[in-house]
Amino acid sequence: MNDAQRVPAIRVQVFGIPIEVQASFFLIVGLLGWTGSAAHLAIWVAVALVSILVHELGHAAAARAFGSPASIQLYGFGGLTSHMPTTVARDLVVTLAGPFAGLAIGGVVFALAEALGPLHGDVRVAAIYALWINVVWSIVNLLPILPLDGGNALRAILHLATGSDRERTVRILSIAVAGAAGVWAWSAGYTFSSLFALFFVGTNLGALRSERDAVHVTRLREAAELLERGNPARAADIARSLRAGRPGPRVAGLAGEIEAWAALAGGDLDAVEAALGDVPDAASPPLQLLGAVRLARGEEQQGLALVVDGYLRGDWHPALVLAESVAAAGVTSELVERLLLLDGDTGRRAAADLESGLRRAGREREAAHVAARLADARPG
């Protein structure tokens, strides 16, 4: 049984569109609409269910009009329509179809209320709820805030106008608009709305941070490749530039490690210690790096133990720099013997990595020795 089947939900089809209404939808909507009256709560949940479903059906109908299959989920605070993306212009239509469907229903309710005259009792309550959900919520949903429809629509419009995706620009605007809306809601006494706005601020800040970290990780990979190609100076420059930009702990830790490996390649052990000293406390330096420093200081046994433990832990390391450090310390033979004592394929893979690094470092004699030991240790 998969996860989707374990979620308590009602599953139906409307106009051939699969619809799943999860139990969390009724729970959250019920909490939002509870005023102390069970009758009013039942009206609220029924109106919310129909209104939000119409909104999502607007998205789904537009997607199907463009030839894309669609499905709907109602859960938590609202709904989600899944469909295959097409062109930016068509996706813009699909995005706007949802809130416009809600506004249309709101218009129909308003027109009927005007035609019927003063409403009373539960009918009046239902009309107020329908206008609130279909008109007020639709207008809020059109605010330029991601992931609301308004934010997605603005992103599509900017893409059409400029020819490129302006997600970052829209996220920055989303933070500004959600922040302003949150301040207004708080000052007006709408505590829940202000918290919801704060949620959107946090979501967009997190997305911007993830985007920045993704760019940083790409540059870190470039720096790592430079280490493997024997250009530690350029690798160190990239690492220093990233650390100067005050990145998150993960990026700062990786950049510090690369800068330390680059310093080790240049034989500057003090610079290695300085780089590692600036690594955030949450980061754990590769054991091979610590072992290579010990080897360079003449502490062979401690250094070898750390290098072997690093291979066991699976730490990342530039094979060329590590192999050069091992060869320079004159402990290649002892290291390969220790590696080949490890259980399973771990030791052979580590020895093969060492051989590759030695060849790239131009240490052919040491590489040949490792290759010979690997051949001797090969099963069968």
**148 in a structural domain:** no
| Tens-place pLDDT, residues 231-246 | 999 999 998 888 887 7
Task: Please state, for a pLDDT cut of 90, what percent of the chain lies above it.
Answer: 53
143 φ/ψ angles, rounded to the nearest 5 degrees: -65, 145
CA distances from 67 to 58, 87, 91, 250, 318 (A): 15, 12, 12, 43, 50
Domain with 126, as residue range(s), is 3-142
**149 in a structural domain:** no
CA distance 202 to 178: 10
Tell me which range, 36-45, 264-273, 320-329, 341-350, is most confidently predicted by mean pLDDT.
Answer: 320-329
pLDDT at residue 65, as a whole number: 92
CA distances from 370 to 99, 132, 289, 366 (A): 67, 75, 21, 6
| Tens-place pLDDT, residues 249-274 | 778 888 888 999 999 998 888 888 88
| Tens-place pLDDT, residues 111-168 | 998 888 887 888 898 999 999 999 999 999 999 999 999 999 999 999 999 999 899 9
**236 in a structural domain:** no
Q: Taking each helix axis from N to C terminus, what angle separates 249-265 and 191-228, rounded to the nearest 10 degrees?
A: 10
Given a cut of 90, whether residue 345 has pLDDT beyond it is no
Q: Which stretch of 208-222, 275-289, 300-314 has the lowest confidence by average pLDDT?
A: 275-289
Domain boundary among 111, 142, 173: 142
Global confidence as pTM: 0.65
**339 in a structural domain:** yes
Q: For tokens 């109908």, what's the residue?
A: 61
- What Rg do the C-alpha atoms of the chain give, in angstroms? 31
- Write down the mean pLDDT value for the chain: 88
Task: Please state, for a pLDDT cut of 70, what percent of the chain lies above it.
Answer: 96
Evaluate whether 64 touches 88 at the Cβ level (below 8 Å): no
pLDDT at residue 4, as a whole number: 46
Q: Which two tokens stand for residue 237?
A: 């420059």
Domain boundary among 86, 117, 142: 142
**44 in a structural domain:** yes
- Kindly give the residue spans of alpha helices, DSSP state H, lying in 148-285: 149-162, 167-187, 191-228, 232-244, 249-265, 269-277
Given a cut of 80, whether residue 247 has pLDDT beyond it is no
Given a cut of 70, whether residue 76 has pLDDT beyond it is yes
Evaluate whether 336 touches 351 at the Cβ level (below 8 Å): yes
Strands 9-14 and 17-22: antiparallel
| Number of domains within the chain | 2
Domain boundary among 79, 113, 142: 142
pLDDT, mean of residues 101-118? 90
**193 in a structural domain:** no
With b meaning 16 or more CB within 10 Å and e meaning fewer, what string describes 355-369? bbbbbbbebeebbeb
**370 in a structural domain:** yes
**258 in a structural domain:** no
pLDDT at residue 7, as a whole number: 64
Instruction: Give the pLDDT band of residue 6 (cuts 50, 70, 90).
Output: low
Q: For tokens 């949450």, what's the residue?
A: 282
pLDDT at residue 119, as a whole number: 79
Given a cut of 80, whether residue 47 has pLDDT beyond it is yes
pLDDT at residue 201, as a whole number: 94
Nearest to 353 by CA among 365, 336, 338: 336
| Tens-place pLDDT, residues 162-218 | 999 899 999 999 999 999 999 999 999 888 888 889 999 999 998 888 887 788 888
